[in-house]
């Protein structure tokens, strides 16, 4: 069955390869076997309509330090979340509204980590979007789309996790009335691994933390 899916996995930089080996227990010669184990398991889960390309599955393996049982649970939760909060996941088409939300600068992914094997840095500035024009659900939906791109394309985020900085400058009553369980649900997306988070009203400052 696996021949129907891509088996291609991006090569890591030397720094990330070392970190993946030392901290996540990644053994390159064993990856193919682990991916086949996951594909076999997915095929036996009638409720689970999961992607099975190798790059996607290795991201979950890395996020669970190559524990197959934890990876299975994380995959199950990843797709369960999409059923539990469909308003955040049902539309994955990037249209004018999604692009205009990104243009506000409320959801930033810094292009360079602090070091070659460092975590990805996220900066969320919810005061930047117009609460009369967009709902928090629409903003968080875009955030989940960015997260799915990271799962497929961002090796730093998948191996080293991410640091989340939340800047509350400019957040007003219109924003606060929108902040409900939908925001908490998105921040618990099991596809990504948070290393640290910071909350402030001033300009974001450099934050870093060793993964535990």
Note the pLDDT tens digit of each residue in 4-25.
789 999 999 999 999 999 999 9
Provide the pairing of β-strand 162-167 with 120-124: parallel
- Give me the number of domains the chain comprises: 2
Tell me the residue range of the domain where 46 lies: 2-84
The answer to whether residues 102 and 195 belong to one domain is yes
The answer to whether residues 196 and 109 belong to one domain is yes
* pLDDT-derived band at 61, boundaries 50, 70, 90: very high
Q: Greater confidence, 209 or 143?
A: 143
Q: How many CB atoms lie within 10 A of CB 211?
A: 14
**pLDDT above 80: residue 193:** no
The answer to whether residues 196 and 98 belong to one domain is yes
Does residue 133 fall inside a structural domain?
Answer: yes
Q: Greater confidence, 172 or 152?
A: 152
The answer to whether residues 98 and 189 belong to one domain is yes
- Per-chain mean pLDDT for the chain: 85
Q: Which of 21, 53, 84 is the last residue of a domain?
A: 84
The pLDDT of residue 98 is 95
């Amino acid at each position: 069955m696996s021949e129907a899916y891509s088996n291609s996995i991006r090569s890591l930089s030397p720094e990330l390869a070392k970190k993946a080996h030392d901290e996540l227990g990644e053994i390159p010669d064993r990856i193919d076997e682990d991916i086949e184990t996951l594909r076999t398991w997915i095929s036996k889960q009638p409720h689970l309509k999961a992607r099975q390309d190798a790059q996607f599955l290795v991201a979950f393996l890395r996020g669970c330090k190559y524990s197959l049982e934890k990876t299975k649970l994380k995959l199950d939760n990843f797709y369960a979340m999409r059923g539990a909060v469909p308003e955040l996941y049902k539309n994955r088409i990037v249209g004018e509204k999604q692009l205009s939300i990104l243009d506000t600068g409320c959801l930033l992914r810094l292009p360079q980590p602090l070091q070659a094997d460092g975590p990805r840095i996220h900066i969320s500035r919810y005061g930047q979007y117009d609460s009369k024009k967009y709902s928090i659900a629409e903003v968080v939906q875009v955030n989940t789309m960015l997260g799915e791109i990271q799962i497929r394309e961002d090796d730093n985020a998948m191996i080293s996790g991410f640091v989340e900085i939340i800047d509350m400058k400019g957040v007003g009553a219109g924003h606060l009335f929108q902040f409900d369980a939908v925001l908490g649900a998105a921040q618990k997306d099991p596809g990504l691994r948070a290393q640290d988070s910071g909350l402030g009203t001033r300009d974001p400052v450099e934050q870093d933390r060793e993964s535990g």
